[in-house]
Structure 1
Amino acid sequence: MPHENDSLSNEAAELQYQGFLERLMISTVTTAPACVFLYINGTMLFTLRSKAVFCETARYILLYNLLFAETVQLILSQILFLLAACRITLTYPVCGLLTVIAELTTIISPLTLVVMSVERYVAVCYPLRHVDIITIRNTSVSIVLVWTFSSLNVFIRILLLVIFPSEHLQSLQMKQICSVIAVFAGPISHTYSKTVTCVLFISAAVVIISSYIGVAAAARSASADKVSAQKARNTLLLHLVQLGLSLSSTIYNPLLISLSTIVTRIVFVRLQSFVYMFTFIVPRCLSSLIYGLRDQSIRPVLMFNLCCRLRLSVVKLKSEVSSLT
């Protein structure tokens, strides 16, 4: 009997150690690129506030709002993923705060893309009135409306949670991993979430496609600026791609549920981190890279900030090493 007990305890310890290594590997695989992308996004946000031309141009102000929302969403997504990977449970108030902010920023991205598409449409189709229509004041009002609509959506979800409380909310301590599904449980909340997501992304796609058609039609006229129209068309196509990338985060949970039924647990755990990276992390960084590299005004400033900060970090590290030796 003592030998059997020792054998069982050794097997339990080995399984616990393997579980620890597994969680460590998953956390490292996702955190490393997330930190790199956060550095790029942070540098891009700093770049958009480093010069007056970026602070006084409508499309750069809208771009800053888009990047800010996606950066916040990237941070929260990584925090929630690490909590899930380490199997750490939270209280409902703490988890609710994290998921509410995540829901808020999720809606902001597609709405900002809609405003950016309208701005490009006005710039090409009504170039003489662009300065009068797309002012700093109107841009600020549109951003406030975007945040207000997003906040209203979160308020309605909280209201549904209060009116139709879930059976899981009997105690403050959660029994499952923190997520949007865990907090906003119940068929009514799920139905509302699916409806808002479908209506929002379909409406945003219609606006962006309509703007693209309008710009393409305006480009055929003799008085249109062909170069500006072509750039606007490429930008609108980019907005459409970004909208699809924003939508990719909504298929994360359904995709995991489908994978869990067809693969083993070990394969599922390994696939989960890659699915998360390509639906949450990568889309949140592409805006910075694409806009930063293709915009002639942003590119030199962004590259200078990236390289200069990296160079300063290397120099500081070398000086610290030399001082220690």
Structure 2
Amino acid sequence: MSYVNQSLSNVTTETQYQGLLERLLFSTLTTVPCCVFLFINGTMLFTLRSKPVFCETSRYILLFNLLFADTVQMAVSQLLYVIAACRITLTYPVCGVLDMLGYLTSEISPLTLVVMSLERFVAVCYPLRHAAIITVRNTGGAVTGVWVFSSLNVLTRVLLLLEFPFKDLESLQMKDFCSNMAMLLGQVSADYRKAYTCFLFVLAGVVTISSYIGVMIAARSASTDKASVHKARNTLLLHLVQLGLCLSSTIYSPLLIALSRIVTRIVIVRIQNVFYLCVFIFPRCLSSLIYGLRDQTIRPILMYHLCFRPKRSSPG
């Protein structure tokens, strides 16, 4: 095991000394918000499939893909949290499947944000060609490309895991709780993940910032719709914030490892619970809150579904 896994093992071992009341409190503080956010995200996903306009508009198709990935990742993360809180250890194959599913969806989000940024760039800078370039078919192809690219990355990680000498283990039962860091069983696997993460966020950051600059340049044109430019600029800024939040989840474990060298283990466990809520749970609901409240087409239908209004009062 690497030093990373050894450090996490020390942290998870310390949770054995947590009192039942404290574990119950932390579990409640994370599970309740997660269930609320899952409900909001689920309602938003249902909303985006409730009207033909949402299924035939590129930006709503991309939003659905982003929300779907965020929702799956939040569900997987919470499942792993509950399993750890219940002191349940999994086998390496089961943990690997859950980890790869969460890793796949975590990569979908920044890549989808890249496509969404490009869509806004084309809408502002090439308004006359937007309808020809950003079609439902092309959007579907972009979404498929995002999933294929992310799946190839996951497949590469699986192949790297196969190099680990599982046959030398006494049992496939894990001694630590299942987590993404616990599945980094070799230095090559850890180095690959760091390199890919850096590549992904440099790519996403460059594309989003370039799109923002392009929109700002277009804003100087007298023929440009100023309201459209202003809205696109704010949307791209929100994409940058979302990318930052995605990046924060990648430094979650390294940050905990660094803190474990200067504070006691039980403090690390408590910090870990707070970070989990702020870094993994809340950002996964941010897209629903942002787009659900900002978009004039989505907002009335979303509020209608969230408030459980009678069907006869459904907005047209």
State yes or no: 1:118 paired with 2:118.
yes
Q: CA deviation at 1:263?
A: 2.3
State yes or no: 1:245 paired with 2:241.
no
* Shift in alpha-carbon separation, 1:16–1:283, aligned structure 2, 3 A: closer
Higher relative helix content: 1
| Structure-1 residue corresponding to 2:38 | 38
2:276 aligned partner, one-letter code: Y
Equivalent residues of 1:215, 1:233 under 8 A apart? yes
2:20 aligned partner, one-letter code: F
Q: 1:105-147 CA deviation, whole Å, 9 max, x = no partner?
A: 0110000000000000000111111111000000000000000
2:47 aligned partner, one-letter code: T
| Separation in structure 2 between the aligned mates of residue 18 and residue 205 of structure 1, nearest angstrom | 40
Q: 1:144-196 CA deviation, whole Å, 9 max, x = no partner?
A: 00000000000001111113546885532111111122223111000000000
| Greater Cα offset, 207-216 or 249-258 | 249-258
Q: 1:71-101 CA deviation, whole Å, 9 max, x = no partner?
A: 0000001111122223210011111110010
Identify the structure with bigger relative contact order (alpha carbons < 8 Å, sequence gap 6+).
Answer: 2
SS at match of 1:163: coil
| Separation in structure 2 between the aligned mates of residue 116 and residue 55 of structure 1, nearest angstrom | 16
Equivalent residues of 2:71, 2:284 under 8 A apart? yes
Gaps of 5+ in 2: 1-14, 312-316
* Shift in alpha-carbon separation, 1:221–1:185, aligned structure 2, 3 A: same
Gaps of 5+ in 1: 1-14, 313-325
Equivalent residues of 1:201, 1:247 under 8 A apart? yes
2:141 aligned partner, one-letter code: V
Instruction: Give matches, 1:74-113, under 5 Å.
Output: 74-113=74-113
What is the number of residues matched between the two proteins?
Answer: 297
State yes or no: 1:178 paired with 2:178.
yes
State yes or no: 1:52 paired with 2:49.
no
1:31 aligned partner, one-letter code: T
| Separation in structure 1 between the aligned mates of residue 303 and residue 251 of structure 2, nearest angstrom | 34
| Separation in structure 2 between the aligned mates of residue 211 and residue 248 of structure 1, nearest angstrom | 22
| Separation in structure 2 between the aligned mates of residue 24 and residue 169 of structure 1, nearest angstrom | 33
Equivalent residues of 2:164, 2:185 under 8 A apart? no
| Separation in structure 1 between the aligned mates of residue 113 and residue 136 of structure 2, nearest angstrom | 17
| Separation in structure 1 between the aligned mates of residue 202 and residue 190 of structure 2, nearest angstrom | 18
Equivalent residues of 1:23, 1:85 under 8 A apart? yes
| Separation in structure 1 between the aligned mates of residue 168 and residue 248 of structure 2, nearest angstrom | 28
SS at match of 1:205: helix
| Structure-2 residue corresponding to 1:9 | none
SS at match of 1:308: coil
Q: CA deviation at 1:255?
A: 1.7
Equivalent residues of 1:216, 1:233 under 8 A apart? yes
| Structure-2 residue corresponding to 1:302 | 302
* Shift in alpha-carbon separation, 1:167–1:286, aligned structure 2, 3 A: farther
| Structure-2 residue corresponding to 1:255 | 255
Instruction: Give matches, 1:121-160, under 5 Å.
Output: 121-160=121-160
Equivalent residues of 2:117, 2:236 under 8 A apart? yes
| Structure-1 residue corresponding to 2:267 | 267
| Structure-1 residue corresponding to 2:9 | none
| Separation in structure 2 between the aligned mates of residue 16 and residue 210 of structure 1, nearest angstrom | 49
| Separation in structure 2 between the aligned mates of residue 269 and residue 168 of structure 1, nearest angstrom | 31
Q: CA RMSD in A?
A: 1.9
Q: 1:198-234 CA deviation, whole Å, 9 max, x = no partner?
A: 0100110000000000111011111111110110011
State yes or no: 1:286 paired with 2:286.
yes
SS at match of 1:89: coil
TM-score, normalised to structure 2's length?
Answer: 0.90
| Separation in structure 2 between the aligned mates of residue 168 and residue 101 of structure 1, nearest angstrom | 26
| Separation in structure 1 between the aligned mates of residue 229 and residue 253 of structure 2, nearest angstrom | 39
* Shift in alpha-carbon separation, 1:144–1:267, aligned structure 2, 3 A: same
* Shift in alpha-carbon separation, 1:102–1:168, aligned structure 2, 3 A: farther
Equivalent residues of 1:44, 1:288 under 8 A apart? yes
| Separation in structure 2 between the aligned mates of residue 167 and residue 262 of structure 1, nearest angstrom | 36
| Structure ID, larger Rg | 1
SS at match of 2:90: coil
| Greater Cα offset, 40-49 or 156-165 | 156-165
1:226 aligned partner, one-letter code: K
2:158 aligned partner, one-letter code: I
Identity fraction in percent: 69
